[in-house]
A and B are shown apart, each in its own frame.
Chain A
């Protein structure tokens, strides 16, 4: 994605906090600051979605429930695109589900990566934690 520079001013203590956080995350204050701005812009444009840190990186979730956007998309597809039916199954207001779908449409590559993470092979799972097993029914 192409980037453009912007200049902004923040309070001194915010700058210090940002520098400390950037050290902890192993990145630069400029990179972390740009990431925070990006998150803020997304949160404003998509208030029904929040980004959470997970072991596989940052992931979009529907605000207020432990339901990731990619799983909401999967459910909609399982319902043949019927948003009302998918919302009933998920016990979500349909508008909130549609807000998640709007996010998925705005960031298709991100959601595709999340969906791929949800399809880890059995070998990958076994490497992650032994003692995984399958039961065929």
Chain B
């Protein structure tokens, strides 16, 4: 199955193009433009549900709020499409190439099977 990823609002949008170059078979979207920007201001729970509907894993470094929402989904016996967290210290905001390579490596390692997985990239 074609891997689908959604980059969260704080992830530089250029990462989408960089990952697409490394993994041309993957479908990479940024939340600012995904579904015509309908989710640009969505809360985490709404976004996780939208991602699940499309089986699209979320890429984010927001380990403050997202884990709690994942926990609530799990407690409600709901699935999620997967979340790739990346380490704040390891990947600075302007390290687009490094982050893109890391995301591509995760897609290769997991073969794009990310449903119900949440992974921290270090």
| Minimum distance in angstroms from B111 CB to a CB of chain A | 13
Contact A89 B12, CB 8 Å, known A55-B72, A119-B88:
yes
A 112-137 contacts with B by CB, 8 A: 114, 117-120, 122, 125, 128-129, 131-137
B41 near A129 with CB under 8 A, answer no
Interface string of A83-123 (1 = CB under 8 A from B): 00110011100000000000000000000001001111010
B 22-79 contacts with A by CB, 8 A: 31-32, 39-44, 47, 61-65, 67-72, 74
B118 near A66 with CB under 8 A, answer no
State which size class the interface on A falls in: 35 or more
Asked if B102 is an interface residue, CB under 8 A from chain A, the answer is: yes
B63 near A78 with CB under 8 A, answer no
B67 near A129 with CB under 8 A, answer yes
Contacts of B39 in A (CB 8 A): 66
| Minimum distance in angstroms from B100 CB to a CB of chain A | 11
B65 near A55 with CB under 8 A, answer yes
How far is A66 from B66 in the complex, measured between Cα atoms in Å? 12
Stretch at the interface among A4-12, A19-27, A28-36, A67-75: A67-75
How far is A129 from B79 in the complex, measured between Cα atoms in Å? 12
* B residues lining the A interface (CB < 8 Å): 8-10, 12-13, 31-32, 39-44, 47, 61-65, 67-72, 74, 88, 92-94, 101-102, 105-106, 109-110, 116-122
* A residues lining the B interface (CB < 8 Å): 52, 54-56, 59, 64-68, 70-72, 74-75, 78-79, 85-86, 89-91, 114, 117-120, 122, 125, 128-129, 131-137
Q: List, sorted by A's number, 20 A–B pairs whose CB atoms are closer than 8 Å.
A: A54-B64, A56-B68, A64-B41, A65-B41, A66-B44, A67-B9, A68-B10, A74-B93, A89-B12, A89-B93, A90-B10, A119-B63, A128-B67, A129-B74, A133-B117, A133-B120, A135-B110, A135-B119, A137-B105, A137-B121
